[in-house]
Copies of this chain bind each other. A is one copy, B any other.
């Protein structure tokens, strides 16, 4: 089977490289694999990756509003509100209507939420470690820096 992209031709006539070799594709594949592992590890706790992420952010910075949470997680507020309300209905996250100031309603973790998050952290750190298990410290920071550069390059 011969791909049309690999036929010899002058550069200006050549199409794009095979999908499997592109950085963007590799990035997606790796990130997807990571997400998949996370979902599998968290499922027994009744959590998804997005829910775990939201709990984690809220643990680091309690009393964030939905808008702040969304900015921190780099998702739209419409996406985060759904996850937030879901966790609130399960009693893992609390929000006090009485505290609403400027239309913004701060959220924080319940005791139950903190407990569940800590259980989840055990699973997640294992995956996080596994991802870079044969990376030296230098390689880990190199990867992080390169991803940050790539991210910056993509900014508008």
Interface set of A (CB-CB < 8 Å, partner B): 1, 3-5, 15-16, 18-20, 22-35, 37-38, 53, 56-57, 59-61, 72, 74, 118, 121, 124-125, 127-128, 130-135, 139-140, 142-144, 146-151, 153-155
What are the 9 tightest A-B residue pairs by CB atom distance, in nearest-first order? A31-B31, A3-B60, A33-B154, A19-B56, A27-B31, A30-B151, A26-B147, A143-B146, A30-B147
- Closest chain B residue to A75, Cβ basis: B32
Chain B residues closer than 8 Å to A143, beta-carbon distance = 23, 143, 146, 150
Q: Which of B5, B127, B148 contacts A60 (CB 8 A)?
A: B5
- Closest chain B residue to A120, Cβ basis: B16
Chain B residues closer than 8 Å to A150, beta-carbon distance = 30, 34, 131-132, 135, 143
What's the number of copies of this chain in the assembled complex? 2
**Do A27 and B26 have beta carbons less than 8 Å apart?**
no
Q: Measured between alpha carbons, how far is A18 from B121 in the docked complex, in Å?
A: 11
Chain B residues closer than 8 Å to A139, beta-carbon distance = 146
Nearest Cβ on chain B to A58's Cβ, whole angstroms: 10
Q: Measured between alpha carbons, how far is A142 from B23 in the docked complex, in Å?
A: 11
29 A-B residue pairs with CB within 8 Å: A1-B61, A16-B124, A16-B125, A18-B60, A19-B56, A19-B57, A23-B131, A23-B144, A23-B147, A24-B127, A26-B144, A27-B30, A27-B147, A29-B74, A29-B147, A30-B31, A30-B147, A30-B150, A33-B155, A34-B150, A34-B154, A37-B154, A130-B153, A131-B153, A131-B154, A139-B146, A142-B142, A142-B146, A146-B146
